[in-house]
Structure 1
Amino acid sequence: MTSRKERLQKLVKVQGQLKALHETRHAAYLVTATAAGREAAELADRFDAEGSLSAMFPEIYHGRIGKALARRQENTALARLEAEKLAAATARTNMVEKAYRQARRRDERDSADRERLDIIERNAAQDDR
């Protein structure tokens, strides 16, 4: 059976990967939201530009601008949710890392105690001779 330290070490690795996943997804949502906002702004600028076909097809421009703004809003909301998941994953990672450090220190102390005990037993055995 594996020791607590080894299990915690694996859990730290998994929690780190989960945290990285949430960071990546958060960044992707923000990038998508920014791109959609930029697209809406560009469409609005073209709508007002001279020589634009917006006078002939205003509903198409308005529809595309509305869809871009909706995508921006949706991705901003998804980024916010992912930020919450990231915060939770960060907290879990910190707790697991703390538990791992404690387990590692406890193992090191136990190992040092065993070594000292072995030295004392060897010295006692030599003194008995």
Structure 2
Amino acid sequence: MTTRKDRLKKLVKVQEQLKALHETRHAGFLSAAAAAETEARELIEHFDTGNSLASLFPEFYHRRIADALGQREQNLENARQEAALIATATARTNMVERAYKDVRRRDERARSDRERIDLITQKRWDE
């Protein structure tokens, strides 16, 4: 049977992995938002040049620019949601770590007390 300390230790690892997952996803969404913004900016710059195909297909360029800006906003919203999940995962990780450290301290204290009692009883038997 596993002890509470072992279960808490495993739970700390799982919580840290979950937090890392959310941090990775957050970074991915921010990166995708930046890429979409860059795409929109490049399309706008290309649209403004006189010899581009934008003059032939302006609705296509407008749609692509709008889609890129929409993707940027969606990715920023997803990043905000992941940031909230990171905060939650951090709080949970901290709570589980405190519980684990408390249990570990109690186990060490109990082991130390047993060792002292064993030493005392050993001395009595030796006398």
TM-score (norm 1): 0.96
Letter paired with 1:93: T
Separation (CA, whole Å) in 2 of partners of 1:114 and 1:77: 55
Alignment of 1:11-30 (within 5 A): 11-30=11-30
**Amino acid of the structure 2 residue aligned with 1:72:** R
Q: Which residue of 1 aligns with 2:92?
A: 92
1:102 match: 102
Report the equivalent of 2:58: 58
Q: Partner of 1:67 in structure 2?
A: 67
Offset of 1:50 from its aligned partner?
2.2
Under a length normalisation based on structure 2, what TM-score does the superposition of the two structures give? 0.98
Deviation at 1:95, TM superposition (A): 0.6
C-alpha displacement at 1:64, in angstroms? 0.3
1:118 alignment counterpart = 118
Mapped partners of 1:25, 1:37: distance in 2: 18
CA deviation after TM superposition for structure 1 residue 7, in Å: 0.6
Distance 1:22 1:32 in 2: 15
Deviation at 1:2, TM superposition (A): 1.1
* Whole-angstrom distance in 2 between the partners of 1:111 and 1:3: 14
* Aligned residues: CA RMSD: 0.6
Match of 2:4 in 1: 4
Cα distance in 1 between the residues matched to 2:9 and 2:53:
62
Summarize deviations over 1:68-101 as a string: whole Å, max 9, x none: 0000000000000000000100010011111111
In 2, Cα distance between the equivalents of 1:77 and 1:85?
13
Q: Which amino acid aligns with 1:126?
A: D
| Structure 2 runs not aligned, ≥5 long | none
1:38 aligns with 38
